[in-house]
Amino acid sequence: MITWHFSSATTDELFAQLQSSPKGLQIAVAAEREKSQAKLFKTEGRYKKEIKLLIRQFTNPLVLLLVIAVCLSVILGESSDSIIILIILLTTGLLGFWQELNASRAVEKLRGLTEMKHTVLRDNQPVQLSTRQIVPGDILLFDAGDIIPADCRIIECNDLHMNESTLTGESYPVEKSAATLNDSLPLSKKYNCLWQGTNVVSGSATAIAVQVGSETIFGQMSHSLIQTTETAFEKGIRHFGFFLLKATVMLSLTILLSNLYFQKPIFESILFSLALAVGMAPELLPAIMTFAMAAGTRRMLKKKVIVKKLSGIFNFGEVNVLCTDKTGTITEGVISVKDIVDITGKRNDRLRLFAFLNAFFQKGFTNPIDQAITSLNIPITGFEKINEIPYDFIRKRLSVAVNQGANCFFITKGAFKNVLEVCRYIEAPGGTKEPLTEKISHQLNADFITYSNSGYRVLGLSYKPMETDKMKRIDEQDMIFLGFILLEDPLKESTLSSFKKLEQLNIRVKIITGDNRFAAYQVSQKLGMKEPVILTGEEMNTLYPEALVVKARHTDIFAEIEPHQKELIIKALQKSHFTVAYIGDGINDAAAINAADVGISTNNAADIAREAADFVLMEKDLSVLADGVYEGRKSFINSMKYIFISTGATFGNMFSIAGASLFLPFLPMLPKQILLTNLVTDLPFLSVASDHVDDEELTKPQKWDLSLIRRFMVVFSLHSTFFDFLTFYILYHYFKLSNSSFQTGWFLESTITELLILFVVRTKKTVIKSKPGRLLLITSLIALGIIIYLPYSPVAALLGFSILNPLQIITITLILVAYIITADLLKRAFFNHNGNKKLR
């Protein structure tokens, strides 16, 4: 087996050792290697993952304690009640498992749609393969934007620059070349090797895969390199969980010790306290969140959006600023050549030929501009490519050397200013070479502004004769400026409506573009922006970080932006407490996509951009993003409904039971009845994830607010407790009920109030003015039917229930009516009072 030390071997030695060749592996040999290396990727099988998911449903400490207590009571002869409790627990756990299983399977299918592909030679034919299919000995072809799938040795390359920050922490691109180097050199000095997880910044390369999977350097270090950023919603859920757990444990322990002090049966007291703990814990929250997120991802997939990170759905709901590039998102992205003109503004066939040669022969990476120029289909018989200096985001130029017989020259095109700065001459009408004077330079800049204000994207074009067939970057000087390439990219028909849709969702759109300020301003006018604030990359460089935070907040368009500045803009907006989404598809967008709260790319984006994104668009359209925000907010709101239910009626009911147990000579509810309450209400609670959401709620960005939840918990727990104690008083003092009959009355009141509060808190409007989801309504009616039927069922005695008389039922019904009316009034007052407070 080859180790990491393969930099000193010659390529012929590597071919021999890996039984490969420059034509790549034979298909049959590759298939055999693929089978034998499956273990190197260390991924769990589907069966093992699903077993773990099932076990996870029962690993909650409170549930485990209850299971232990149940088992202990069975041993001591308390078998019937314990078995019932165990059945209820198993049913609840299996219900949660079923929901999460369906959601996780849906997510796995979505991930398959965004699997990374690489160009590999097999039997001398280029094929597209996934990372798992790459085997030692494979010949890989890389272009700018590609992610390296294995540790490789370079066979040949052209102006290759790599981003190795994932391994070395150095963000500046590293230049690579084909060579033989000493094995003792440190990783950062082995410039003849490519490492898994790094990516191509510019240039191209052919390399041989040497190590794959867990045998690569990245694979060995992955446990320390993999970092999962916790979303704001996930952090809020974690804090909420700790808060509720502490309250639950303290209350349960207090009740246990109190019951023991009053010399109540020890096992009954333990089961009662643990049942209370389980009743108060929002055990369905993970299942509901997962189901809500998975349902959102399925709806988004129908709208051609692939969700890579499930929890990103909630972040989408928080977005209030969208940063977008211009090309392909706001504009059609189908660039066409309007004209190619000389310095006098006249069409010039020679310039068209030079532009075509440059675009046709470049092999750095595929891009819309070169595709547009090559669509001109100009004959180039007799021309041959000599060399190339690929485009990069520092020079912003692309140079290609060609010859025609003995005549050798190279052609450079790129951003107008970057081309003009390496020119010393101009080509005057008639083909004569003249010095580039300050006056002429001023006129060229004026022409550039005029073309840009007309809505064109403008490139510069230059050339230079060559005395040899060698070309280096240093040769890009003293060139002859030829003229302008004028490109068109009209606005999409859907752009204006998309902007209005985003505006209705209270999302501010900021355009970040490398285009000049004049072209950017022209686009803003077409979008109907009134006096947009424009900040250029050059102006950004003069600002202190603190000043950029203030400036970015009020800027509408960032023009002439360098790649590294995009990330700075995103971070500046985040420091202003915005939740930022960024959409981009180029190599230079990867850092900004990764820095954004919601990173978005497209299916045809560069590998590194697609890998960094949380969402991948099958179609690059802003209206789709509005749909994504809609789904994110819907998932967020529906998950919050369950949290409000848990902290309102459920916690209040359990608190009431706990308090009553201290004053009544019998338990207000048996442990099995408490758990049965949980089980019956689980069915409608799970369907909350698919509930309808009021339109007015979807127009506002959603934010996690633990302080709001705490206030809601106090207010509605007190409200619930008031009606609970009212019920206790009437049942015990007025009707003189005890044991089974009291427990039956209390079970009916407490369980039905949990169902009713669901319909109250699911909307901020009056209950009757908001239509619930069909599934929620059906499951709630089923649960209500079960609750009413249980005291009359054949298992009533086993569950500790007895039949109430009509007067008792009417009294409980009146209490329930008063409960829902007052809860609805209290809810509206609560949210009206708290609605104007800024969510944090």
Active site positions, annotated = 325
Looking up tokens 């996930």, which residue turns up?
234
What is the Cα Rg of the chain in Å?
Answer: 34
Q: Considering only CA atoms, which of 301, 323, 296 is closest in space to residue 311?
A: 296
Helix 266-280 to helix 651-663 angle, to the nearest 10 degrees? 160
The SS3 of residue 41 is helix
Cα–Cα distance, 237 to 222 (Å, whole number): 27
Cα–Cα distance, 788 to 294 (Å, whole number): 33
Which tokens go with 794? 């054949």
Judge whether 340 and 348 are in contact, CB under 8 Å: yes
In sequence order, what are the residues at sequence separation of 6 or more whose Cβ sits closer than 8 angstroms to the Cβ of residue 230? 238
Q: Considering only CA atoms, which of 587, 675, 690, 590 is closest in space to residue 631?
A: 690
Interstrand relation of 598-602 and 580-583 (parallel, antiparallel or unpaired): parallel
Judge whether 243 and 706 are in contact, CB under 8 Å: yes
Three-state SS for 64-114 is HHHHHHHHHHHHCCCHHHHHHHHHHHHHHHHHHHHHHHHHHHHHHHHHHHC
Cα–Cα distance, 86 to 323 (Å, whole number): 52
Q: Report which residue type is found at 145.
A: G
Judge whether 634 and 296 are in contact, CB under 8 Å: yes
Strands (E), 580-646: 580-583, 598-602, 615-617
Judge whether 577 and 701 are in contact, CB under 8 Å: no
Cα–Cα distance, 213 to 219 (Å, whole number): 6
CA dihedral defined by 827, 828, 830, 836, rounded to 10 degrees?
A: 140
Judge whether 463 and 481 are in contact, CB under 8 Å: no
Q: Considering only CA atoms, which of 835, 813, 815 is closest in space to residue 823?
A: 815
Sign of CA dihedral 675, 680, 681, 687: positive
In sequence order, what are the residues at sequence separation of 6 or more whose Cβ sits closer than 8 angstroms to the Cβ of residue 140? 118, 119, 120, 121, 134, 149, 150, 152, 206, 207, 208, 209
Looking up tokens 């020890």, which residue turns up?
266
Q: Supply the DSSP symbol for 137.
A: T
Which tokens go with 66? 């209850």
Q: Report which residue type is found at 492.
A: K
Direct distance between the N- and C-terminal alpha carbons of the chain, in angstroms, rounded to an integer: 55
Cα–Cα distance, 349 to 649 (Å, whole number): 79
Residue-level length of the chain: 840
Which tokens go with 730? 């009437």
The SS3 of residue 624 is helix
Q: Supply the DSSP symbol for 792.
A: G
Q: Considering only CA atoms, which of 411, 351, 398 is closest in space to residue 376?
A: 351
The SS3 of residue 559 is strand
Q: Supply the DSSP symbol for 530.
A: S
CA angle 802, 805, 806 (to 5 degrees): 135
Looking up tokens 């509206």, which residue turns up?
828
Q: What are the DSSP calls for 744-788, one per residue?
A: HHHHHHHHHHHHHHHHHHT-SS-GGGSPPPHHHHHHHHHHHHHHH
